[in-house]
Structure 1
Amino acid sequence: MTDFEFAFSPYVPIWVVAVFAVLALTLAGIGLARRVRGSGLRIAAAILFALALLNPALQREVREPLSGVVAVVVDHSQSQRTAGRVATTDAVAADLVARLEATPQLEVRTLTVDRPQADRDGTILFEPLADLLGDVPPDRIAGAILVTDGQVHDVPKTAPFQAPVHALIVGDENERDRRVEIVAAPRFGLVGSKQTIVVKVEDPVAQGETVELTVRADDQLTETRIARIGEPIELTVDIGHGGDNFYEFEVANVEDELTTVNNAAVAIVEGVRENLRVLLVSGEPHAGERTWRNLLKSDASVDLVHFTILRPPEKQDGTPINELSLIAFPTRELFSQKIDEFDLIVFDRYHRRNVLPALYFDNIAQYVLNGGAVLVAAGPDYAGPRSIYHTPLAATLPVAPSGSILEKPFRPTVSDLGHRHPVTRELPGGNEDPPAWSEWFRQVEAVPTAGETVMTGADGNPLLVLSREGEGRVATMLSDHIWLWARGFDGGGPHVPLLRRLSHWLMKEPELEEEALRVVTGSGTLVVERQTLADTAAPVTLTTPSGETQELTLEEAEPGLWRATVEAPDMGLYRATDGRLTALGHVGPANPVEARDLTSTTDVLEPVAEATRGSVRRVADGGDAPRILMRPDGRSTSGSDWIGLKRSEASELTGVERVPLFAGLLGLALLLAGLSSTWWREGR
C-alpha cells in the first residue's frame, strides 16, 4: 500500500476550468489594481470554484506483494549415473525443495534433466532453465539452484538473469577417472581404403605411464598397441564395408577409478563405395535387352559396360575386318585380366557361340567363388545344347535346365520363402491373389539344385532362384519376358524394384541381406531389427554402454522382418546379439562430451555463479541442503551454511483508495463560505 497523493478528476474539460480561472483572476486583478474593496475575497472564491471544478482528491493504490520464483534444476544426466550420485542428488533436491516450499512469499519450480536434448551433446541445463522461467517477469525471479556434479556444457558467458545462481555439487573432489578420447577421426572413407584415427588416453593420476590399448573393428579384435597416457597415438584402420564402420578403442580398468564407462571410445566412419562396376553381356539383340540396359544406366551408383554379340565367329561372309563398324569383343581383357574389377556380370540370353572359351567360364566360376556375382537372365538359350549350363560355370549355377520350354500364359508369383526375402518382399501387387501385374508367356523349365526359389512361374516351376556360392552370389531368372512389365503390357509390373533389388543383393548391399541383425538408433530410442528367412526370430540380448544387459523379444513387423523398440537414455555404443549374429548401434555423438570427463567439479559453474553473486559448494553424501534466506537486492546471497535468494519487490494492484476534497458537505460549505464572504464585504 502506497502513501496518499493528490489526484484530479475534472467535471468539465480542463480548458473550461482554465478559461474560468483566467477570467476570474483577471477581473479580480483589475479590482486589486483599482483598490476595489473585496478583491482578495473574490480571488479566493474564484480559486475555490476552480478547485471544485477540478474535483481534487487524496488517492493511494492498494497493492498485494507478489511472491518470488525460484527454479530448482536436478541433474540426472549420464555423468550423474556413477558412484551413486543420483541417490545423493535426489536426497539433496528433496530436502532443498522442502526448505524452499516452507519459505514465505516464494514459488518453487522444479525441473529434472535426465537425457540430452535432440541434436545436442553434453549436459544441457541452462537452456531448460531459461524455458522454465520464460514466463516469469525479471523482477520476480528469486534465483536458481542447480543440483549437479558440475559437468555442465551450456554454461552462459554472461548472467542469465539478475538473480543469484547457486550450484550444489555432488561427488567427491578426490575422484579418479581414466578415459579414452578420440582426438581426430574421419567421417567418411572409401571401402577398401585405410584411414588414420588419433586416440589419447587420459588419467591425471598416471601421466606419462604406458597402458595397453585394444582396437576392435565391428566388435572384432584387430590389434593391441602400447599407448602413453596423455600423448596422442595414431592408429590405421581398414574401411571394411559400406555404411557405418565401428572402431572401438579400450584400455583396462583401474581399481580405484570412478567408472569404467569411458574406458572405451568409439569412432564411426561411414564406408562409401566407389561406383559399382557391372558387365552386361547380351548374347543377341532381343526385346528385353533394353530393359536391363535402361535399369542399370539409370542407377547413379553403377558404371555399366555393355556388349551385345552381333557377329559371332561362325558368321563369316567375306567382309573385310577393316570395313566392319563393330567393336571386337575384348574377351581376354574382360574375363582374364580385369574380371576382378567387376562387381557383377550379367549374362542376358547368352549361349555358347565360340566367343568365350571354356577357360574363361572357369575364370568366371572362380570369380564367383572368390566373392564375385553373376546374374543369368535366361531365355530359350538356357534350355538348349549351347546353354552356359554346359560350361565350367555350371558348378556355381543353382538350377539345371530340363531341356523344355514352357510357352503358356502365367503370372509370376512370389513364393512363401520369397515373401520373407528382402529382394521380393512387399513387391507392389505381390500380396494379392492373383498378383496385380501382367502375365508372361515363356519360361525355361529347370530343376533347382541349390539356393532359394523366391518366385515361381508356370505350373509352379522356379522362376527366380538366388544362391550363395563360396564367397560370391548367383541369381537365375528363368524367363526373358520381364520386358513386358517394362513396356506396360496389361498394366505392367514392378520390374524396377525387382531388378534393382536383385542386382544390389548380388552386389552385397547390406540392407538386402536375408539373414541380418541391425540396430537403428533414434532420439533416445533403439530399434532392433532381425531379418530372417526362418519362421521365428530368437530373443536378442542388448548390452548398454554401462554394461547392463536386457533380453528383447522381437515381434514380426513384416514377413521375415522382426522388430523391437526400446528406450536408450545413455549415449554410447549398444551391442545386440541373438547368439548367431551381432550388431552395433551408437546413440549420440561418437565421442560424446558427456563421457569425456565424469569427475565432479566446481570449476565449470564458478564463472556464472560469480556473475550472478551466487555460490558453488559441495554437498556430502547424505548431507542436508543449506539453509535458505531471502535477501533484499544488493545484499550478500551466500554464507558458510546458507544460500540467499533475491526478495521480490514486485506487487499486484488490487484497488485504489480515494478521498474527494470538495465532495459532500465540506465542499459545499467551502463554496458557500467563499460566496458569502464576497457578499458580506460588498454589503459593508
Structure 2
Amino acid sequence: KSDPSVDLVHFTILRPPEKHDGTPIGELSLITFPTHELFDEKLDEFDLIVFDRYKRRGVLSLGYFLNIVEYVERGGAFLAASGPSFASPFSIYRTPLAAILPAQPTGDVSVGGYRPEVTETGRRHPVTAELPGAEKSPPEWGRWFRTIEVDADGGDVLMETPDGKPLMMLARAGEGRVAQLLSDQIWLWSRGYEGGGPQAELLRRLAHWLMKEPDLEEENLSAIAEGGTLTIRRRTMLEETPPARVTLPSGEEREVPLEEVAPGRFEGTAEARELGLYRIAQGDLSAVAAAGPLNPREFADVRATAELLQPVTAATGGGIWWAGEDAEDTPGIRSVRAGQDAAGSNWMGLRRNEQYLVHAVHQVPLLTGPVALILILGTLALAWWREGR
C-alpha cells in the first residue's frame, strides 16, 4: 500500500461460509465475497494476486484455484504469504496451486527467535541484493519468531533462517512468476521491533519482480555514456560473464571486459569519443547508449516552422507548403525546365536538369545475316504461294 505506482484491491473475508447465527441475509452489512467476478470474469485484469495467510475454508472452489494456475502460466504473478495454516490440512498446497508453488509443507512449524539471512543466491538476485542491513553477519535487523518448514521443489531460495530453512522462494511457472514467504512475521519489521528491517523495500522489489519490471530482471544489460566515458553494467546470476561487444557510431566494433563490482554485478568502461548511438550486446542481451550534448541544436526548438527554409526557397525559386487533411491543400506537381520558377500558388515544380553522363554505348544487331535471309526467302515464298491461288 505504500507504493504509489501500484493500485491495490484488497478483500478480507470476515464472515466465513460455515458461520451461522440466524441473522437474515438482508440485514447483514457484509457483502458476499465476489468469487466469480474476481477469479473468473476479471482474473486476467490483475497483474499480481496475493494470498496473505489464506487457508481453504470453502470460499473458493477447486475450479477457481485452477483458474489461478492457468492465469500464472499465461504470464500472471502469484505471491503466497504463508502462515501456520500452510502446514495444516487446510493448506492451499492441497489445491491445484501445488502445481506452481515452489515449496511443499512438511507439516511442521518452527517457533523461536532468529534473524533472517540473505543466501548466496539472494546476494546476487536483484530482489534481495544489497538490502539495507544485510551487509553484516548477522544482519542488522529485527528478529522473526516463526517459520513454516518446507521441502523446496524448485525455484531459488533468497532468504533463509540461520540453520538453512527457506524463508523466501521465487520460481517461474510457464510464462508467469511465483513467490512464497514462509513466515508471517515480516510485519515486525514495519513496527520497528528490535530496530525493524527493510520490509517496505523488500516487498516493493518482490512485487515489481513478480510483475516483470525490467530493472529487476536477473539477467540485465544496461549502458550510459557520460563525460566521454561509456559505462556498461551487467547483472547476472552467474559467477562470470564474457566481455561485452560494443558497436561504435562509426560501425567499428570493440570488446569491453567486465569486472565484478558486487555479487551478481559487473561493470566495464570504454572511451566514448564519437558522438552518436553506441550499441552494446552480450549473448541474447542488448542495450544502447547515446553520446552527445544534452541539449543538441535540433532539439532547441522543436516547433514546426517555415522560417528556417524561407531563405533557401527564395534563392532557388522554390516554395513551402503545409500538408493538410483536405486534398485541396496538396499542391499539384509539374515538370519545369532549369532556370524557371519551381513553385506557384497551388503547384510545385520538379526541375528537368537534363544533366546526365554517358559512360558507354554497346550496339547489338537485332537480326543476323542468316536469320534475315531465311525471313526474306520465307516472305517471298509466302507471297508467291498466295498470288498463285
1:391: which partner in 2?
95
Superposed CA offset, 1:287-323 (max 9, x none): xxxxxxxxxx221111110001111111122111121
**Structure 1 position 589, deviation (Å):** 7.7
Indicate yes or no: 2:232 matched with 1:542. no
In the alignment, is the contact (CA less than 8 A) between 2:218 and 2:236 conserved in 1? yes
1:102: which partner in 2?
none
Could you tell me which of 445, 463, 479 is aligned with 2:183?
479
Number of residue pairs aligned between Structure 1 and Structure 2: 300
1: CA distance, partners of 2:67 / 2:162: 34
Q: Which letter maps to 2:290?
A: H
Indicate yes or no: 2:128 matched with 1:424. yes
Superposed CA offset, 1:449-472 (max 9, x none): 111101002521110001111111
Indicate yes or no: 2:219 matched with 1:515. yes
Aligned residue for 1:317, secondary structure, equals coil
Indicate yes or no: 2:6 matched with 1:314. no
TM norm structure 2:
0.74
In the alignment, is the contact (CA less than 8 A) between 2:125 and 2:264 conserved in 1? yes
Aligned residue for 1:528, secondary structure, equals strand
In the alignment, is the contact (CA less than 8 A) between 2:2 and 2:200 conserved in 1? no
1:571: which partner in 2?
275
Superposed CA offset, 1:245-293 (max 9, x none): xxxxxxxxxxxxxxxxxxxxxxxxxxxxxxxxxxxxxxxxxxxxxxxxx
1: CA distance, partners of 2:138 / 2:67: 42
Change (3 A) 1:521 1:367: farther
In the TM superposition, 1:176-191 aligns within 5 A as none
In the alignment, is the contact (CA less than 8 A) between 2:118 and 2:159 conserved in 1? yes
Could you tell me which of 261, 273, 289 is aligned with 1:585?
289
1: CA distance, partners of 2:59 / 2:291: 55
Could you tell me which of 58, 83, 89 is aligned with 1:354?
58
2: CA distance, partners of 1:434 / 1:498: 18
Aligned residue for 2:114, secondary structure, equals coil
In the TM superposition, 1:231-310 aligns within 5 A as 297-310=1-14
Question: What's the Cα RMSD here?
Answer: 2.0
2:263: which partner in 1?
559
Indicate yes or no: 2:39 matched with 1:335. yes
2: CA distance, partners of 1:432 / 1:390: 39
Q: Which letter maps to 1:403?
A: G
Q: Which letter maps to 2:183?
A: S
Q: Which has the higher contact order (CA 8 A, sep 6+)?
A: 1
Could you tell me which of 454, 469, 491 is aligned with 2:173?
469
Give the unaligned 5+ runs of structure 1: 1-296, 595-603, 608-684
2: CA distance, partners of 1:589 / 1:367: 46
Superposed CA offset, 1:317-373 (max 9, x none): 211112111122111111111111111111000011111111111111111111111
2:104: which partner in 1?
400
Runs of at least 4 residues off by over 6 Å: 589-594
**Structure 1 position 524, deviation (Å):** 3.0
Q: Which letter maps to 2:283?
A: G
Aligned residue for 1:340, secondary structure, equals helix
2: CA distance, partners of 1:342 / 1:383: 28
Identity %: 58
Q: Which letter maps to 1:375?
A: L
1: CA distance, partners of 2:155 / 2:292: 40
2: CA distance, partners of 1:368 / 1:570: 46
**Structure 1 position 587, deviation (Å):** 2.8
2:382: which partner in 1?
none
1: CA distance, partners of 2:206 / 2:102: 15
**Structure 1 position 529, deviation (Å):** 0.8
Q: Which letter maps to 1:364?
A: I
Could you tell me which of 525, 528, 531 is aligned with 2:232?
528
1: CA distance, partners of 2:294 / 2:132: 38
1: CA distance, partners of 2:29 / 2:213: 38
2: CA distance, partners of 1:339 / 1:587: 44
In the alignment, is the contact (CA less than 8 A) between 1:406 and 1:458 conserved in 2? no
2: CA distance, partners of 1:522 / 1:367: 43
**Structure 1 position 394, deviation (Å):** 1.2
In the TM superposition, 1:440-451 aligns within 5 A as 440-451=144-155
Q: Which letter maps to 2:221?
A: L
1: CA distance, partners of 2:104 / 2:195: 32
Q: Which letter maps to 2:268?
A: A
In the alignment, is the contact (CA less than 8 A) between 1:418 and 1:455 conserved in 2? yes
In the alignment, is the contact (CA less than 8 A) between 2:117 and 2:162 conserved in 1? no
Change (3 A) 1:509 1:589: farther
Q: Which letter maps to 1:372?
A: G
**Structure 1 position 590, deviation (Å):** 11
Aligned residue for 1:308, secondary structure, equals coil
Q: Which letter maps to 1:340?
A: D
Superposed CA offset, 1:515-572 (max 9, x none): 1111223343321111011111211111112111111111112211101122222233
1: CA distance, partners of 2:228 / 2:67: 50
In the alignment, is the contact (CA less than 8 A) between 1:379 and 1:444 conserved in 2? yes
TM norm structure 1:
0.43
2: CA distance, partners of 1:521 / 1:315: 64
